[in-house]
Structure 1
Amino acid sequence: MNWAELVGAALLGAERRTPPGGSVEALLDAAAVETVRRRAGLRPAAAAPRPEPAPADPRPALPPAAARRLALLLTDRSGGAGGRRGTAPDLAELLPQWLAAANTHGYRAPAEQLPALLDAARARTDLRSPVLALGGPRARWLARLNPDWRFALRGRDTGLPGDGTAAGAGADRTAVRRLWEEGLFAERSALLVSLRRHDPAAARELLAGTWSAERAEDRLMFLDTLREGLSPDDEEFLERALTDRSRTVRSTAAELLSALPASALAARMAARARACVAPDHTGGAVRLAVEAPYECDAGMQRDGVAPRPPAGRGERSWWLSQVVEAAPLDTWAGHLGGRTPAEVTALPVADDWEQELHTAWARAAVRQRDAAWARALLGKPSAPMATVPGDPAKLLTVLPPRERAEWAAEFISAHGLSEAFRVLGVCAVPWAEPLGRAVVDALEIARDAGSYPWSFSGVMGLAERCLDPAQADRLAPLTAVPDEPEDGSPGAGGYWAEAFQRLVATLRLRATMLGELEPGPGPGESPGEGGGTAQAATDPT
C-alpha cells in the first residue's frame, strides 16, 4: 500500500471503513514502515546559508534580578478575567510599567527573552513600542526569522526604527522611497509616523508625492499622522486637502488647520464665529447674543463644516457648534472687551444657547490645548460633573499634570468615586500625593459603608497600577476584615479585605520591581555578580 492510500484510510477512520490489514494496529504498523522507507529515500539537500550574525547592542544588560522579574512577567497567568481575583497581583498589567522603567534606564533585553517579548508585543499592540525599544536591533534581527513578528520590521532597511521612536538623520532616502511605494499599508503608516518625528518636511513631501493615487481611507489615516508636530509649515498641504474628493478627508484637514491659530482657515472661522456671537448691552448687564448660521454655504463646507446634522440635532445649532469649535480661542478676548476666559464663560447667554456655546468652546480648548480655557470651563471640582460642558476628562488633559491631579483629588473628595474613573484615567502615574490620598480615603469610606467592592473594581485596578508604591504601609491596616455595618451587604468586608490585600501586595511588588532596575547589585547579590557573562553566552551572535 502506498503513502497516499495510508493517509486516506487514516483520515476516513476505522469507524467508517475497515482499515487495511483489518485493524488500526495493522494500519499504524504499515504507516511506520512506509515512513522509514520514505525517509530513507530522501536525497541530501544543499545546506541553506547561515543567517548573518545579530548586530551588536552596546547598551548595558539588565541587572540579574530584573532579568528574572521580566521572565516572570512574561510567563505569569495569575491575573484572569472574571471571577474572584484573589490577593495575587496581576503581573500582566504591570508589564507595561516595567518596560517603561527599564527603557528609562537604557537597558537591553536579555537575548533569551527576545522571543517571549516579541510574542507579547504581537498579542498586545500597546507593548510594541516599549518592547522594540528594549529589544533594540537584535529584536528586529530575530523578527526576520519569524513571519509572526513582522510588525517589528516596519521601517526595515531605511535607517528608521521599527518601533516608531525618534529616528536619526541617517535614513537611506532610496530605501525610504522604496518602502513608501512598495510596502504594505501598515509598513507605510509606521514609516510615515517615524519619519514625521525627525523630519516633518520629508514626511510631508513623501505623502504629497502619492496623495492623488492613494485610496480615500488611506489618505485619511495618513493625514492623521500630521497631528504630531503640527506646524504652520503644514498649512499649504492641508489647504489643498480641503478640496479632496472625500468628505472625511476634508473634515480632518479642516480640523488640523483650525488647530493652527494663524492659519487662513482659522481666520475665516473666527470671522464667522464673531458674526454668530456678540455682546448684548441692552438691559444693563452684558450678556452674549447668539445668532446661529441660517445656511451652510459652499465656503463653510469647504472649511470642514458638515451640512447634515446627526439625528435629533437641529441644523443651525450643528453649524454653530462647528464654527465656534474651529475658531481660535484668542478671537474672544478682542471680540468681548478684553475679557479673560473665566470672565467670558461667566457671561449669561441669551435664548438657551449656553450649553451649545460652552460645549463648542470645550472642544476648541481640547483641540487647541488651551489651559486657560480648559480651566475656566472645568470650573470648581465641587460642582457636579454634569455641569461641565463637553468631556471633563479631555479638558483635564490640557492642564499641567500637577494641577490635573489636584483637581481630580478635590473632585473625588467632594463626590466620591462613582464618576471618578474617567478623571483618574488621564492623571499622570504615579498619582501625586493629594490624589492618591483622596482615592484611598474614598475607597475606605465605601468599605465602611458596607457596599461591595465590585462597584469600584475599575478604580481599584487603576490604584494598583497608579498609586505611589510608598503608600503600601499606609494601606496595610485596611487589609484586615472590617466589622460589617448592620445595613451593609453580607460578606462585603471579606471581599474588601481581599481587594486591599491585593492592592498592598501589588504596590510592594512595584516598589521591588523598580528597585531591581536600579544599577548595581540586586538584593542578596555580591558586587561581582552581573548579567554580562550570562548575556554573552546566550547572545545570538
Structure 2
Amino acid sequence: MTRPPAPVSALPVWEELVTAALLGTERRTPPGCAPGPDAPTRLLDAAALETVRRRASLRPARSAKRPAPAPADHRPPLPTAAARRLALLLADRSGVAGGGRRGTAPDLMELLPQWLAAANGHGYAAPAESLPALLDAARGRTDLRPAALTFAGPRALWLARLNPDWRFALRAAPGGDGALPRPEEAERVRRLWDEGLFAERVALLASLRARRPADARELLAGTWSAERAEDRLMFLDSLRTGLGPDDEPFLEQALADRSRNVRATAAELLSALPGSALAARMAARALTCVSVDRSRVPATIVVEAPHECDAGMERDGVVPKPPAGRGERSWWFGQLVEATPLATWTGRLGARTPQEIVALPVADDWQSELHAAWCRAAVRQRDSAWARALLGSPTVPEAGGPGAVSLAERAKLLGVLAAGERAEWVAGFIATHGLSEAFQLLGVCAVPWAAPLGRAVVDALDIARDAGNYPWSFSGVMGLAERCLDPSEAGRFDGLSAMADEPEDASPGAGGYWAEAFQRMVTTLRLRATMAEELAPAPAPR
C-alpha cells in the first residue's frame, strides 16, 4: 500500500522558525531538525541559513505603473514664516506624561486647530513638504480632520491613495476615491448607497444631507424597510442636519418602526418641529396635566401627571419604563412637556411671557420636574427667549436659575443664546461665583472670548491665587484660557507672572505654580498673536 505524501506545512519556513523560537524547542521542533538537546543550536543554524536565502533569493519584479501626477493646488502659497511655524506645530511633542508640571513652554499641538482655522480663513495652500506630517496629525486626532483636510487640499487625497494609513482622508472628502461622490453624480451615489460599506453609507448620507436634504431623505426612504434596526437608527440621526417640515411624513412613518430606539429618535426629531402633528398631539396631552390655580395668591401652577402610558403615547416616543430611582408618572410627564412646543404655554398660562411663566410657583414639589423639562424643550427647539428665562440671572444664589438644574443643563441653555449674550452671562457667573464650576460653561463660549469674559477669567484667577487656593484645581481653566483668551490680554498677566508671597494657609508650592502658569499664559498668548501676524497676507505693492 502506497503511503500518502507527508503534509506540507501550512506556514513558510521562516514563520515556522519564528514560532519555534517564540515557543521554545522543547515545545515546538524546528523544521528539518530532530528533537533533542541540539535543537536550539540547529534552530539558530537554520535561521541563519534562511536569512541568507531570503536576502539572496529576491528577483527583479516588473515595475508598477507610475501614479498619476499630483493635482495642482491653485490657492496662494503659505507665507514663509507661517510655513516654518506649521512645521514647528506639527513636530511638537510637548505634553507631560504622568501629570507632571508643564513648565512655561506653550503646548503647540493644542494651538494647531486655531492655526489651521486661521490658515483656511485666508485660503492658503499647504506646503507640499508638510502634507505627510499634517495627515499623520489628522489620523491621530479626529477633531483636526475637517480643518486639516481643507488646508491640505487635493494633494492630500492623492497621497492618501498611496498610503493605507491615510485612507480616512478618502472618506472625509467628496470624490476622495469614489467613496463620497458629489450630489450631482446620481449614478455613483446610488451605487455607493447600494453596495458600500456601512461607514461609507453613513458618510455619504451625512454629506448628501448637508447639501441636498431632500435627496438624502429620498435615498434613505428607498431602502428603509430593508435596513437593519441599528443601521436605521444611525441613518435616521443624519436627518438632524437640515431638519424641516418636509421631513415630517417620513418621520411619521418611522414612528411605527419595529425598533423602540428608532421610534424614540423619530419622535425626538418631530418634536423639534413645532408645527408637526406629533408636537400637537404631545401638547394636547401636556395641557391636560398643567393648569393655573388662580384662587391662590400668587397664582400657582398645578400639575396632575398622567396615570398611564397608553399605546398612543408609546407610539409618539414616550418611553414607558423609567430609569432606576424615577417614578413612572413624573417620568411620563417630563417627556410630554419636553416634546410640547413652548409657545403652547403662553396661551395656557394666561398669555404670560416666558420669564413670567418661569417665575410662577409650582405646587406639590413639581417645580424641578417641570422646569427641567422646559430646559430640555428650550434646547431642542432652540428657543432663546425660554433659554434666557430658565437661566435667570447669573448672580442669583448658586447661579442655578429657576430651571437650570445642573451645570450641564446650563451649558446647553447657553448654547441657544447668541455668542455675545452667552459670554456676558458666563462673565457674570464667574464674577459672582468664581471659577470652581465655570469650566463647563466656558467650553460653550465663542473663541476668542469677548473682552468682558476674558477680564472676568483673569480677575478670578488672580483672586484664586491671592486666596492661596490649591493651584492645580484651576489647570483646566488655565488651559482653556491659553487657547481662548484674546491675545491682547497678554499684558494683563505681566504683573501676575512674578512670584508672589504665599499666604500662610496656601498650598505648598502654590506660588511657584501660579507664577509658572501665568508665565506660560503670557508666552502662549503672545505666540498666538505672532501666529496671526505670520498668517496675515502681505500688503499689496503700491
User: TM over 0.5: same fold?
Assistant: yes
What residue identity is the alignment partner of 1:65? A
Give the whole-Å Cα distance in 1 for the aligned partners of 2:43 and 2:167: 47
What's the CA shift for 1:7?
6.9
Q: Is the deviation greater in 252-261 or in 450-459?
A: 450-459
Gaps of 5+ in 1: 528-541
Give the whole-Å Cα distance in 2 for the aligned partners of 1:270 and 1:59: 53
Cα 1:161–1:364, aligned 2, differ >3 Å: closer, same or farther? farther
Secondary structure of the residue aligned to 1:47 is coil
Q: 1:266 aligns with which of 279, 292, 296?
A: 279
What residue identity is the alignment partner of 2:519? Q
What residue identity is the alignment partner of 1:389? A
Tell me the residue number matched to 1:69: 85
Answering whether residue 54 of structure 2 is matched by residue 38 of structure 1, we say no
Tell me the residue number matched to 1:484: 502
Give the whole-Å Cα distance in 1 for the aligned partners of 2:287 and 2:303: 10
What's the CA shift for 1:274?
1.0
Q: Is the deviation greater in 512-521 or in 312-321?
A: 512-521
What residue identity is the alignment partner of 1:53? P
Q: 2:404 aligns with which of 366, 372, 389?
A: 389
Give the whole-Å Cα distance in 1 for the aligned partners of 2:273 and 2:75: 40
Give the whole-Å Cα distance in 1 for the aligned partners of 2:363 and 2:47: 89
Secondary structure of the residue aligned to 2:292 is strand
What residue identity is the alignment partner of 2:332? W
Cα 1:38–1:197, aligned 2, differ >3 Å: closer, same or farther? same
Q: Give 1:178-257 correspondences, 5 Å limit.
A: 178-257=191-270
Tell me the residue number matched to 1:470: 488
Secondary structure of the residue aligned to 1:251 is helix
Give the whole-Å Cα distance in 2 for the aligned partners of 1:347 and 1:410: 24
What's the CA shift for 1:339?
0.7
Secondary structure of the residue aligned to 2:494 is helix
Give the whole-Å Cα distance in 2 for the aligned partners of 1:142 and 1:358: 53
What's the CA shift for 1:56?
2.0
What's the CA shift for 1:20?
8.9
Does structure 2 retain, via aligned residues, the 8 Å contact 1:160–1:195? no
What residue identity is the alignment partner of 2:121? T
Does structure 2 retain, via aligned residues, the 8 Å contact 1:160–1:191? no
Deviations 1:216-241 (A, max 9, x none): 11111111111111110111111111
Q: Under a length normalisation based on structure 2, what TM-score does the superposition of the two structures give?
A: 0.89
Answering whether residue 326 of structure 2 is matched by residue 308 of structure 1, we say no
Answering whether residue 188 of structure 2 is matched by residue 175 of structure 1, we say yes
What's the CA shift for 1:33?
4.3
Tell me the residue number matched to 1:497: 515
What residue identity is the alignment partner of 1:140? L
Tell me the residue number matched to 2:134: 117
What's the CA shift for 1:269?
0.9
Cα 1:486–1:201, aligned 2, differ >3 Å: closer, same or farther? same
Does structure 1 retain, via aligned residues, the 8 Å contact 2:500–2:511? yes
Secondary structure of the residue aligned to 1:66 is helix
Cα 1:23–1:322, aligned 2, differ >3 Å: closer, same or farther? closer
Cα 1:221–1:5, aligned 2, differ >3 Å: closer, same or farther? closer
What residue identity is the alignment partner of 1:343? E
Secondary structure of the residue aligned to 2:522 is helix
What's the CA shift for 1:45?
2.7
What percentage of residue pairs aligned between the two structures are identical? 68
Cα 1:49–1:396, aligned 2, differ >3 Å: closer, same or farther? same
Tell me the residue number matched to 1:57: 73
Cα 1:63–1:284, aligned 2, differ >3 Å: closer, same or farther? same
Give the whole-Å Cα distance in 2 for the aligned partners of 1:7 and 1:263: 65
Does structure 1 retain, via aligned residues, the 8 Å contact 2:169–2:176? no
Secondary structure of the residue aligned to 1:278 is strand
Answering whether residue 518 of structure 2 is matched by residue 518 of structure 1, we say no
Does structure 1 retain, via aligned residues, the 8 Å contact 2:393–2:399? no
What residue identity is the alignment partner of 2:92? D
What residue identity is the alignment partner of 1:410? G
Give the whole-Å Cα distance in 1 for the aligned partners of 2:309 and 2:15: 71
Give the whole-Å Cα distance in 2 for the aligned partners of 1:13 and 1:319: 65
Does structure 1 retain, via aligned residues, the 8 Å contact 2:17–2:47? no
Deviations 1:413-467 (A, max 9, x none): 0000111011101000000011000001010111111123201011011001100
Does structure 2 retain, via aligned residues, the 8 Å contact 1:155–1:191? no
Q: 2:454 aligns with which of 436, 440, 448?
A: 436
What's the CA shift for 1:159?
8.3
Cα 1:205–1:19, aligned 2, differ >3 Å: closer, same or farther? same
What's the CA shift for 1:490?
2.1
Give the whole-Å Cα distance in 2 for the aligned partners of 1:151 and 1:368: 34
Tell me the residue number matched to 1:286: 299
Tell me the residue number matched to 1:335: 348
Q: Give 1:415-434 correspondences, 5 Å limit.
A: 415-434=433-452
Q: Under a length normalisation based on structure 1, what TM-score does the superposition of the two structures give?
A: 0.90
What's the CA shift for 1:34?
2.8
Tell me the residue number matched to 2:387: 374
Cα 1:49–1:159, aligned 2, differ >3 Å: closer, same or farther? closer
What residue identity is the alignment partner of 1:408? V
Cα 1:357–1:46, aligned 2, differ >3 Å: closer, same or farther? same
Answering whether residue 348 of structure 2 is matched by residue 346 of structure 1, we say no
Q: Is the deviation greater in 76-85 or in 222-231?
A: 76-85
Give the whole-Å Cα distance in 1 for the aligned partners of 2:238 and 2:16: 54
Q: Give 1:392-407 correspondences, 5 Å limit.
A: 392-407=410-425
Does structure 1 retain, via aligned residues, the 8 Å contact 2:338–2:373? yes
Tell me the residue number matched to 1:530: none
Q: Is the deviation greater in 430-439 or in 445-454?
A: 445-454
Cα 1:53–1:312, aligned 2, differ >3 Å: closer, same or farther? same
Give the whole-Å Cα distance in 2 for the aligned partners of 1:161 and 1:62: 29
Cα 1:207–1:4, aligned 2, differ >3 Å: closer, same or farther? closer
Secondary structure of the residue aligned to 1:279 is strand
Q: 1:451 aligns with which of 469, 475, 494?
A: 469
Gaps of 5+ in 2: 1-10, 26-36
Cα 1:29–1:229, aligned 2, differ >3 Å: closer, same or farther? closer
Does structure 2 retain, via aligned residues, the 8 Å contact 1:220–1:249? yes
Higher relative contact order by CA 8 Å / sep ≥ 6: 1 or 2? 1
Does structure 1 retain, via aligned residues, the 8 Å contact 2:116–2:151? yes
Answering whether residue 150 of structure 2 is matched by residue 133 of structure 1, we say yes
Give the whole-Å Cα distance in 1 for the aligned partners of 2:463 and 2:174: 57
Q: 2:122 aligns with which of 87, 102, 105?
A: 105
